[in-house]
Amino acid sequence: MDVTIILFPGTNCDQDTANAISNHLDVVPNIISCKEKVIPKSDLIILPGGFSYGDYLRSGAIAAREPVMKDLIKKARDGVYVLGICNGFQILTEANLLPGTLLKNRSLKFISKAVGINILRNDTFFTSCFQKDQTVFIPVAHHDGNFFIEKDGLMKIEDNNQVAMRYSEPVNGSSNDIAGLYNESFNVLGLMPHPERAVDRRTGSDDGIIFFKSMMKYINN
């Protein structure tokens, strides 16, 4: 399995993500700059969390226009798996690889805590080791995590079962408590929770490991 992590100015979760992949997928990921124009051959491309360009303009808006994004968009549309975590989710919406947008939290405050996440389906690349409707506990850490999409768009993603996960209770004002979302082809996933921060019970939870085991299981099958 070939995994690539893309760094943007302000990315700060790259090493946590790389460690989670190395420890639980037994894969050493490639880490490349957003200034690259071509992404190496990859089964999975990850946009990790952080604050690309300081969240100026809109979170992810500047990063979505970096040179690497043209090839990322092409590869995503060709079926390569893409995972955007937190700021990565924001970048994916700004690049129009996922619908909707991420607004400031309803409280207008930064939220950093472990939250309950309900996994809605377990038949995708990212979730095959979960139980359907399983609740897991994974940290969030964001100021702009309030997922918004207009009414018709919300109905569409709900009808298409594109909602990957919901908060088990309201966290930031997200429409229908959406915490993660797939594209229409289910090969692109954006999520606000940080699974790479939930891989050791000594730090609160190891539920994030299930995401990484799911991806390896899917590839091996």
Please spell the DSSP secondary structure of 21-65, one letter per residue: HHHHT----EEEETT-SSPPS-SEEEE--B-GGGG-SSTTTTGGG
139 has which bridge partners?
Answer: 114
User: At a CB cut-off of 8 Å and minimum separation 6, what does 142 contact?
Assistant: 86, 102, 105, 110, 111, 172, 192
Query: Is-catalytic flag, 194?
Result: yes
Query: Is-catalytic flag, 86?
Result: yes
Other Cβ atoms within 10 Å of 203 Cβ, number: 11
d(CA 4, CA 10): 18
* Catalytic residue, candidates 13, 24, 34, 86: 86
| Cβ(22)–Cβ(28) below 8 Å | yes
Q: Name the CA dihedral angle for 12, 16, 22, 23, rounded to a multiple of 10 degrees.
A: 180
Distances (CA, A) of 166 to 63, 89, 142: 26, 15, 16
* Catalytic residue, candidates 24, 142, 143, 194: 194
Please name which of 152, 192, 149 lies closest in space to residue 172, comparing C-alpha atoms.
192
The catalytic residue positions are 86, 194, 196
